Amino acid sequence: MNTPTDQNLNSSPKGMNRRNFLRGLAGGAAVLGFPTIVPSTVLGQNGNTAPSNRVTVAALSCGNRARICRRYVGSNLSELVALCDPNLERARERQQQWGEDIPITADFREVLARDDIDAVHISTGDYWHVPMALAAARAGKDVFCEKPLAVCIEQCLAAKEITQKYGRIFQYGTQNRAMAQTRMGTELVLNGHIGEVKEVYIWAPPGFSGGTCEEQPVPPDFSYDLWLGPAPRKPFCHDRCLRQGRRNGVYHIYDYAIGFISGWGAHPMDQFQWWADEMGLGIATRFEGTGSIPKDGLFNTIVSWDVEMTYPNGLKVRFCDSETAAKVVPGIDKVAFAKGGQNHGTLYIGEEGVVGVSRGAWHAEPADLLRKGKEPGDKRLVDAGSHLDNFINGVRNRETPVSNLDSAIRSDIACHLSDIAIRLGRPITWDPEQETITGDPEAVAMMSRTLREPWDLNITV
């Protein structure tokens, strides 16, 4: 496939493999007569990491979500060595921001073919996440993948191969696990400070309706067929392909996503899954709910939702959009964490108290529970620090990062089961052993997506 490419990606930005850096440096010094005393910043002394030992990362997609990749630049632990986006104009913008010597390309396969890249940071549309992550794993790259994990349950389950078959490090982009208030609040619940948990509420921002599609000519530096990839062929237009921010069409068009029920819901659902995993709860087995789906416009994913998830032990979890939450979550108007939690949050109601966590803050009742946050008890969670550093250190030390793939699969499947129950308008049942919906062939069919040829889940480079 011919795609517009600005620079050759078969070599690193500086014309050498990072693994050969010191060898090349020593050879060059001898040939050119440079002093043979190498600065400590190169050798990794005095707390510095040698360039040959820094994790080399490629950004797969350069849009709005890719902005956090700037943290790889100038890091003592990592180096950003490639920028990839089918929209080369966007890639050039990032190149100007982060380093004019970083090569760019439209085709992610060129990136995966490089042997000097350790890891990829995937922030494409949801429909590309698993196909691209699997391809990266086969190419020997570790993976940071933005949330949500996948565009359907079949792809969630296929993603297991990234770690189980290919042995790659995987970090899910649910940064709340790296925030102290999320960890400390969850630890309070784990250590029994609110007694037995009787109810849980999870909420996230509602989606958007609207969007128009007046077909436009494809810009000369936009590889539209590659942008579409496994998704159905549809007309090129601004709201589909060029919009940025929360109203980006790629988040709200069912060909590419299931909407904010997973696109934003992934954050509070993942907070809950962190606790659920420690409790051995896995995934709920019954899902029932309602929601609204736009009938007009380009955007056609669920906008608002209210779902009840039931676990085998009888625990009921209510998962809804934040506007619904404002009406149904007990005390949401007065809890201290509503400042950050009105947007999204996870609230545990126990026999003896309440704990709520969000990105912005956390809340507990009775209030003196907050003082126990630093010493909650024996059950502790990973103190990850920086989410990206946690990933990079995982790559360096071959350790599982805090937002691990197994947990991501469980939380993302919960979002998909909620979406399916709403779309069908009836309860559905999940069998955790067989990993499928039971007793409902129509629902089972919705667990998978047909991929546009020639794309599939077996991409290799």
Residue with tokens 């071959």: 398
Two structure tokens written together for 219 = 């810009």
**pTM greater than 0.75 (yes/no):** yes
Q: Please spell the DSSP secondary structure of 357-405, one letter per residue.
A: E-SS-EEEESGGGGGGSSS--S-------SHHHHHHHHHHHT---SS-H
Q: In which domain, by residue range, is 113 found?
A: 18-175
- Over range 156-160, report the average pLDDT: 98
Strands 104-105 and 78-84: parallel
Instruction: Describe the crossing of helices 405-424 and 266-279 by its angle, rounded to 10 degrees.
Output: 120
> Beta partners for 145?
122, 172
186 and 90 within one domain: no
88 and 110 within one domain: yes
266 and 171 within one domain: no
The predicted structure's pLDDT at residue 366: 92
The answer to whether residue 215 sits within a structural domain is no
Strands 55-60 and 78-84: parallel
450 CB-near residues (< 8 Å, 6+ apart) = none
The predicted structure's pLDDT at residue 122: 98
The answer to whether residue 184 sits within a structural domain is yes
The answer to whether residue 111 sits within a structural domain is yes
pLDDT tens digits, residue range 50-89?
Answer: 566 899 999 999 999 999 999 999 899 999 999 999 999 9
285 and 267 within one domain: yes
194 and 106 within one domain: no
Q: What CATH number corresponds to the domain at position 348?
A: 3.30.360.10
The answer to whether residue 241 sits within a structural domain is no
Cα-only R_g, the chain: 23
Strands 170-172 and 142-145: parallel
Between the alpha carbon of residue 35 and those of residues 23, 50, 100, the distances in Å are 15, 18, 28
415 and 294 within one domain: yes
182 and 137 within one domain: no
279 and 170 within one domain: no
> Which H or E element spans position 239?
helix 238-241
376 and 287 within one domain: yes
- Over range 144-160, report the average pLDDT: 98
pLDDT tens digits, residue range 325-373?
Answer: 999 998 776 665 656 667 899 999 999 999 999 887 888 999 899 899 9
> Beta partners for 204?
321
The predicted structure's pLDDT at residue 339: 60
pLDDT tens digits, residue range 362-403?
Answer: 889 998 998 999 999 999 999 999 999 999 999 999 999 999
- Over range 9-24, report the average pLDDT: 37
61 and 195 within one domain: no
Q: What CATH number corresponds to the domain at position 103?
A: 3.40.50.720
18: pLDDT strictly greater than 80: no
9 CB-near residues (< 8 Å, 6+ apart) = 82, 103, 105, 110, 111, 113, 114
- Distance between CA atoms of 117 and 211, rounded to whole angstroms? 38
The predicted structure's pLDDT at residue 49: 63
- Distance between CA atoms of 301 and 410, rounded to whole angstroms? 21
Domain tally for the chain?
2
